[in-house]
Chain A
Amino acid sequence: MTRLTKFARPATSLVIYAVLAALIVVPFLSFLAMSFFSVEGVTINRTPTMGNFIRAFTDPVMMSVFWRTILLCGAIAFVTTLIAYPVAVFINGLQGVARYVLLTATTAPLILSYVMKIYAFRSILGGNGLLNRMLLATGIIDTPSSFFVFNLNAVFLVLAVLLAPFAILPILLSLEKIPAALSEAAADLSASRWTIFRTVTVPLSRPGIATALSFTFIMSIGDFVTPQMVGGPNGFTFGRIIYSQFGLAFNWPFGAALGVLMAAVIVVVLALAMRLGRVPGGASR
């Protein structure tokens, strides 16, 4: 600990905490507060009520969308991580320039426009889009498929591909941390390559897997642009409903309550991820 004159110390603490409060803490508190208010016409009634939450839990449509969204995002997280893992393993096995090039190739797309990528996907996935025409041309299907046209499948595919780099990176980072000496020791003890992978690599990369899963889940559940663009009428997610409360539907308190619900889900996911990501023996990320 370094020493300051007795006056300066509490003053700097105050400033720091004031800035943090104004920028982050107070807005979150207002968000929380709003969820307990209600709407009357165009004005907001600030008497606290549990109405919004009650409505959220009792409205069957709301609940079905809620659970469907959780299922969807869970599936996205799972599938994306599943694909990301072998890719991370592959990159980890490369050295030098090849490694760096491939790493850049996987992460560079993140820099490019989010909206544009979804838009491009929309045209690719459309009835007359690139995907269908390729499938027709190669004879895999006879008529254009509407499997990915404006529904949750489209949302699923787009988000999985978009978020893949976010899953690859943490897994790669945790793979890198595993000392090569461990696989050598396992081999020395006559373990096969697959056994080494199963009993050494995967368990030790648990923190990375947990991060990939939670990251992907959180990012997909909070995304309301993708469902809006490729989801169509059949692709309503929880995020879209929340967004519309702040737009056309104009029910800020209800929207806030739904948002609180979403935040609660995320906290649970984060807690689960922390538990999952703990490597037995104490080593953590």
Chain B
Amino acid sequence: MTRSLSAQVGLALITALLLIAIYGPIGVTVAGAFLPMKGGIIQSFTPSLAAFGKLSTDTGLIRSLMMTLAVGAVATVISVMLATALALFSTERGGTHARVVTLIVFLPFVMPPMVTGLSLLIFFRDVGIDRSLLTVTIGHVAIILAIAYRGIAVRLTDLGRSQIEASLDLGASRWQTFHRVILPNITGSLAASALLCFALSFDETLVTLLLTGTESTFPIKLWGMTRLGITPAANAILAILLALTLAGSALAIGLRRRSQP
């Protein structure tokens, strides 16, 4: 069904407007990395890399980035491993067990991060755990678990129970079955889930704000800076992140095109 030209143009226009709106603040951010800004107003139009230079000296910023990466990595690893165990459990038991597990796993995801964050905050206080990067990490795991779980569970269902049964039927132990049949077939979705989880954890603000102690992650540092003004060094970091994301997407497009004739 072909669309009329006017309809196509109209749709394209709406899309373009939305994209402008979405990329507006991003453009401003990137601009702030290359052009000196004060209070959001561009001072001069001569681009400079001074902001990137400041990046290397701003230890607070660097440290928060390191913390963010650490929290992200740990939360991702825990979530993916936990999600795999949960997905295996659900797929194998099926029925009520699967439903209960799915319900519980998706609860923190469906509720706004605020509710999950507050729940953990209250819980930690009740059991006497102080807020720290540890609590932040646990909070991240609660939020991102559902993502990893969904990805892996779907892949396991596709794989089908009969493969697991076939492996057992041929005499393999449960560990051998996991190791030689299940794992090789889910690496794709494990990797994709891990990537997604890391991305979500990296920018997670709401839960982190509630559970953070003295050390902070990058989003919290930014949050703290919003009062006085975000330093150009932070803009520089975001410009780099944007470049990396674009490069990554381009790579993904390239790989896809190569694998699909």
Tell me whether B223 and A225 are in contact (CB under 8 A): yes
Residues on A with C-beta less than 8 A from B145 are: 23
Contact with A along B146-189 (1 / 0, CB 8 A): 00000000000000000011001000001000000000000000
Tell me whether A93 and B222 are in contact (CB under 8 A): no
Nearest to A4 among chain B residues (CB) is: B174
A123 shortest CB reach to chain B, Å: 3
CA distance A91 to B256 in the complex (A): 18
Which residues of B, 213-248, contact A by the 8 Å Cβ criterion? 218-219, 222-223, 226, 230, 234-235, 238, 241-242, 245-246
CA distance A262 to B110 in the complex (A): 13
CA distance A180 to B2 in the complex (A): 11
Interface residue tally on A, bucketed by range = 35 or more
Contact with B along A175-186 (1 / 0, CB 8 A): 000001001100
On whether A116 and B222 interact (CB within 8 A), knowing A89-B11, A106-B19, the answer reads: yes
Residues on A with C-beta less than 8 A from B238 are: 112-113, 116
Tell me whether B126 and A30 are in contact (CB under 8 A): yes
Question: Is residue A124 within 8 Å, beta carbon to beta carbon, of the partner chain?
Answer: yes
Residues on A with C-beta less than 8 A from B25 are: 116-121, 124
Contact with A along B1-39 (1 / 0, CB 8 A): 101100110111011001101111110110010000001
User: How many residues of chain B are within 8 Å of chain A by beta carbon?
Assistant: 83
Question: Is residue B120 within 8 Å, beta carbon to beta carbon, of the partner chain?
Answer: yes
A273 shortest CB reach to chain B, Å: 11
Question: Is residue A266 within 8 Å, beta carbon to beta carbon, of the partner chain?
Answer: yes
Contact with A along B74-93 (1 / 0, CB 8 A): 00000000100110010011
CA distance A89 to B18 in the complex (A): 14
Tell me whether A124 and B24 are in contact (CB under 8 A): yes
B146 shortest CB reach to chain A, Å: 10
CA distance A187 to B3 in the complex (A): 13
Tell me whether B122 and A34 are in contact (CB under 8 A): yes
Tell me whether A115 and B226 are in contact (CB under 8 A): yes
Which residues of A, 92-109, contact B by the 8 Å Cβ criterion? 93, 97, 100-102, 104-106, 108-109
A69 shortest CB reach to chain B, Å: 12
Tell me whether A2 and B165 are in contact (CB under 8 A): yes
Question: Is residue B257 within 8 Å, beta carbon to beta carbon, of the partner chain?
Answer: yes
Which residues of A, 156-172, contact B by the 8 Å Cβ criterion? 161, 164-165
Contact with B along A17-58 (1 / 0, CB 8 A): 001100111111011001000000000000000000000000
Which residues of A, 265-285, contact B by the 8 Å Cβ criterion? 266, 270
On whether A114 and B119 interact (CB within 8 A), knowing A2-B92, A23-B141, A193-B4, the answer reads: no
Tell me whether B115 and A31 are in contact (CB under 8 A): yes
Tell me whether A221 and B19 are in contact (CB under 8 A): no
Cβ-defined partner of B219 (8 Å) among A91, A113, A239: A113
Residues on B with C-beta less than 8 A from A16 are: 85-86, 89, 101
Tell me whether B1 and A184 are in contact (CB under 8 A): yes
On whether A221 and B112 interact (CB within 8 A), knowing A2-B168, A27-B123, A129-B40, the answer reads: yes
- Give B contacts to A, CB under 8 Å: 1, 3-4, 7-8, 10-12, 14-15, 18-19, 21-26, 28-29, 32, 39-41, 82, 85-86, 89, 92-94, 97, 101, 104-105, 107-108, 110-116, 118-123, 126, 138, 141-142, 145, 164-165, 168, 174, 199, 202-203, 205-206, 209-210, 218-219, 222-223, 226, 230, 234-235, 238, 241-242, 245-246, 249, 253, 256-257
* Known interface pairs A83-B14, A243-B114, A262-B115; 20 further A-B residue pairs with C-beta atoms within 8 A, sorted by A's residue number: A2-B92, A4-B174, A16-B101, A24-B107, A28-B107, A87-B14, A104-B253, A109-B22, A111-B199, A111-B241, A112-B26, A113-B218, A121-B24, A122-B226, A123-B28, A183-B1, A222-B111, A222-B112, A225-B205, A266-B110
For the complex of A and B, list the 9 residue pairs with the smallest distance between their C-beta atoms, beginning with the closest. A222-B112, A123-B40, A120-B25, A27-B123, A90-B11, A27-B119, A31-B119, A115-B222, A120-B28
